[in-house]
Chains A and B, each alone.
Chain A
Amino acid sequence: MRKRNCRKEKRTESFFESVGRSFDLPQEALSGYVHTEISGNKEVLVDGCQGVLEYGDCAIALNTGRLTVRICGCELTVVSMQNGQAIIRGIITGVEFCN
């Protein structure tokens, strides 16, 4: 039963992805992926943030629905977190994406 659900989800994903690709639309518009912008190693903008999973000195993990975005670095500051958009500033050493 679970296997069937997974297959169904995979099929819908591929459908939206293929529609988006054929119309040259951004991937996050239809498939529900998170939109991430990285400016050098100083700033990361995550659009589609649904919550904070981890908050510490060296790492901030954000829940974006399907993915978890983990930003590692030091002197990390959440400049703003409004309307599902989080801007994180600091000295960024890595950005990880986990399912």
Chain B
Amino acid sequence: MLLLKFIRFLTGYVVFSARGGFPERFINLCRLKKINLWELKSSGSVIYACTDCREYKRIRHCARQSGMKIRIQKKCGLPFFLNRHRRRAGVLAGIFICVAVICILSTRIWSIEVTGNVDVPSEAIIGTFEKLGVRKGASGNRVDVAKAEIEALKELDELSWVNVNFEGSAAVIEVREREKVPDESDETPSEIVAARDGQIIVLRPFNGTQAQKIGNGVLKGDLLISGIEENKDLTVSFCRARGYVVACTERELECSVNKNFEAERKSAETTAYIIEFFGFEIPLGKTGEASYTEKTSLRINGVTLPLGFTKCLSVGKEKCTVNLESGQVKLLAALRFSETCAEEFRYLKVKSEKVSVNEKADGITVGGEFVCIENIGKEVPLEIEETE
């Protein structure tokens, strides 16, 4: 019914009234002459009906025969609309441009999304596909998707599978990353030595010969697990030493902050915008070298539109001398010391610590002595000299 209404709108139709005479005869005559009437209503002695604009001329004869007087009530449909606005060139041009824009834009790629990636950044994947033709504004029909997929796989070694799907005007790139398999085949002879001074607490050799005992004190570079294995027939064979050696070590950290120091101060902040449409960038104002950029794409009902803008923030810096008060220096020193500790002790356990604060005339020094438990084993290749 909706389709029928749409077709009637496209072809145009007339709503007319007929009064006087014999409505039954009028309807029967129209039926005999195969004039299509619909929405036939009676109101008192007047009937209202709709018919096609071409057939309205033929209706007059039927009305005359049945003694009815007909009058047009309303002209509906596209032909009448266009005729009414034929002198308004702007409206017609607007309609034409609107239709043309819809036709053109519907075939273009509006946005590119990447799914399934964990380690490989989306920007790298999109950048590779843009080189291969899958970019914003490109015609979706002209893109050789199969070729682009193969070429992208060649360029991006980290990916094991890639597929490009078009969902409306959005190109969705589905990827699967290659699983990293540890290289077990490398059996180059090596040994494990101490990376730091310490006292061994745990010693677990998986491969190779144990060179130290639990409780031994070792210096940096001392052999912990040897890559030389002695066979039963007193010959030796070389292997890759594996295992871990946990030792109790000592570390010292120090952090100094001066009361007066040179720093950079934010002077002026300028914001500029760039409008992006199908990959074309239209800068609004001077963008220069932006220290911070933020891209935003317009989204309506979850659909990314090809229109967006980039906010470029440029921050000017000037050198200045900072003079801190005693409390501020302490706070800054504590902050820097805690940051250094967090970075240093990320992969080890601190058994005990002793922190000291030393105030001077020009600043403050925070120092700490730590007893840690850590893996001190470090694999180094075994140097073998062949002798005749």
Contacts and interface: CB of A to CB of B under 8 A. Distances in A.
B24 A78 contact: no
- A-side interface mostly: strand
Interface stretch (A3-11, A15-23, A54-62): A54-62
B20 to A, nearest CB: 13
A79 B38 contact: yes
A51 interface: yes
B24 to A, nearest CB: 5
Q: How large is the interface on A (under 10, 10 to 19, 20 to 34, 35 or more residues)?
A: 10 to 19
A57 B42 contact: yes
B34 to A, nearest CB: 9
A56 B42 contact: yes
B40 A78 contact: yes
Contacts of B28: 51-52
B43 A57 contact: yes
Contacts of B24: 51-55
Contact of A55 (B27, B39, B44): B27
Q: How large is the interface on B (under 10, 10 to 19, 20 to 34, 35 or more residues)?
A: 10 to 19
B41 interface: yes
A80 interface: yes
A80 B47 CA distance: 15
B23 interface: yes
Contacts of B23: 55
A69 interface: no
Contacts of B36: 82
Nearest to A49: B31
Contacts of A67: none
Nearest to A56: B42
A27 B199 CA distance: 106
Interface string B14-30: 00000000011001100
A56 B272 CA distance: 73
B44 A81 contact: no
A77 B37 contact: no
A77 B40 contact: yes
